């Protein structure tokens, strides 16, 4: 078992430099344009694919072959330092890949994860569809039905998913469906919806406050039929799990939460990248901007804000890296993944707000990037479990009680 360390190995340092270079040279010059366009940035993602930054091989190396758990958070921090919307466009397919890895058999992982990404010459997209219009944090409130047609060995899915990254434009959708409504969230399963499957369509595309280069939309499932082998994990394993739950025995975590638990430290790294971008920019601005005959950083009110920003960023990185390591070792004790995500979302929102304050009126205009970073930061208090859901998860973990 790897020992936890805040010191990156040589490969991780090289990766950090490589991703940072792409973020600086490709993402930052294009960030404002795609934020304004509010369209999926295919050209940027294609450039990432051409250098190997977007693809299942990179994901496998960073997630599965890294005993420390730190490689993915390091890469994500640099991507989101470049731009959150473009970063989400590059990393969004990873949610589908994580969903497949969390619930699928080894054969399903090998078959479907590569199809989520396509090839450098022809990229594909993946989407993980869990949330619904009336049930986001309330996973027990999902209504999308998954009914087994035994005669044809097919699953039939009906329902609407909401707030789905790459929803409707993805080649491969991973959809959480309800197979036994009487069991609440424990009656869920995940399904692969292959490319071109009839009955799946895009519903409303959302016009968002931030991360606007990332496509977010509803996914509508109208009598969507998929082969039996598209049930992640297989029917025998599902039947065994449901039987245990019905008998009151411990069962595996429900499908959506398996994916969320695997990705929360990485979501924290997204927020960290945004916070760091805003801090670094406002630090340089404060050293160059003069007022009353001297750089504004010479004023304690500005210098102390920057000191606090730097401190919070360093503390957050430590929490994220430790949570990522614990998750890799399967040693979570007190919901450290949720702690890291909660802290990072709060810090990103606060740091970007402070950056606007340091820039003053300029910070509130679109001529400077800090207002975009502030808009991008807020989503990290909301998606993959709101701030309040993280507090609930943490409070249950530290108390051992079923706090409602």
Residues annotated as part of the active site: 384
Residue 381 C-beta-side C-alpha neighbours within 13 Å: 12
**Angle ∠(380,381,383) on CA atoms, nearest 5:** 65
Strands 172-178, 216-227: pairing is unpaired
Give Cβ neighbours of residue 83 (< 8 Å, ≥ 6 apart): 23, 27, 28, 30, 31, 34, 35, 213, 376
Q: Catalogue the E-assigned strands of 14-152.
A: 126-129, 145-149
Strands 126-129, 154-165: pairing is unpaired
Is 121 within 8 Å of 236 (Cβ atoms)? no
* Residue 148: Cβ within 10 Å count: 16
* Secondary structure of residue 145 in the 3-state scheme: strand
In angstroms, what CA-CA distances link 41 with 22, 130, 211, 368?
Answer: 15, 24, 12, 21
Is 341 within 8 Å of 385 (Cβ atoms)? yes
What does the DSSP 8-state code read for residue 384? T
Distance of alpha carbon 197 from its chain centroid, rounded?
A: 25
Listed residue (100, 256, 131) closest to 187, CA to CA = 256
* Secondary structure of residue 34 in the 3-state scheme: helix
Give Cβ neighbours of residue 1 (< 8 Å, ≥ 6 apart): 67, 329
Distance of alpha carbon 194 from its chain centroid, rounded?
A: 22
Q: What end-to-end distance do the CA atoms of the chain give, in Å? A: 36
Is 305 within 8 Å of 350 (Cβ atoms)? no
Listed residue (351, 273, 345, 349) closest to 310, CA to CA = 351
Is 26 within 8 Å of 78 (Cβ atoms)? no
The H-or-E segment that residue 216 falls in is strand 216-227
């Amino acid at each position: 078992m790897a020992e936890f360390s805040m010191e990156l190995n040589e490969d991780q340092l090289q990766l950090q430099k490589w991703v940072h270079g792409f973020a600086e040279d490709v993402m930052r010059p294009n960030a404002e344009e795609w934020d304004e366009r509010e369209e999926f940035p295919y050209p940027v993602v294609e450039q990432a694919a051409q250098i190997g930054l977007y693809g299942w091989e990179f994901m496998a190396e960073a997630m599965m072959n890294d005993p420390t758990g730190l490689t993915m958070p390091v890469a994500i921090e640099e991507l989101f330092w470049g731009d959150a919307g473009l970063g989400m466009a590059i990393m969004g397919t990873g949610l589908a890949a994580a969903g497949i890895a969390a619930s699928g058999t080894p054969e399903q992982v090998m078959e479907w994860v590569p199809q989520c990404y396509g090839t450098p010459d022809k990229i594909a997209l993946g989407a993980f569809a869990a949330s619904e219009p009336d049930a986001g944090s309330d996973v027990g409130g999902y209504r999308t039905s998954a009914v087994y047609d035994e005669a044809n060995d097919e699953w039939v899915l009906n329902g609407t998913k909401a707030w789905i990254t790459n929803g409707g434009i993805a080649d491969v959708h991973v959809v959480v469906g309800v197979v036994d409504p009487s069991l609440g969230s424990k009656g869920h399963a995940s399904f692969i919806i292959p490319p071109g499957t009839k009955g799946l369509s895009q519903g409303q595309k959302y016009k968002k406050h931030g991360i606007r280069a990332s496509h977010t939309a509803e996914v509508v499932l109208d009598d969507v039929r998929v082969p039996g082998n598209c049930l992640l994990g297989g029917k025998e394993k599902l039947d065994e799990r449901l039987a245990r739950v019905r008998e009151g025995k411990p069962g595996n975590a429900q499908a959506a939460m398996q994916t969320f638990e695997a990705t929360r430290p990485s979501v924290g790294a997204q927020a960290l990248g945004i916070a760091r971008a805003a801090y670094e920019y406002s630090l340089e601005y404060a050293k160059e901007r003069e007022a009353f005959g001297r750089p504004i950083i010479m004023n304690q009110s500005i210098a102390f804000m920057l000191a606090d920003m730097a401190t919070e960023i360093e503390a957050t990185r430590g929490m994220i890296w430790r949570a990522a390591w614990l998750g890799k070792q399967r040693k979570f004790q007190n919901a450290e993944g949720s702690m890291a995500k909660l802290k990072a979302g709060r810090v990103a929102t606060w740091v970007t707000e402070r950056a606007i304050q340091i820039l003053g009126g300029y910070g509130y205009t679109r001529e400077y990037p800090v207002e975009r970073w502030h808009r991008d930061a807020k989503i990290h208090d909301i998606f993959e479990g709101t701030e309040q859901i993280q507090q609930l998860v943490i409070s249950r973990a530290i108390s051992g009680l079923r706090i409602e």
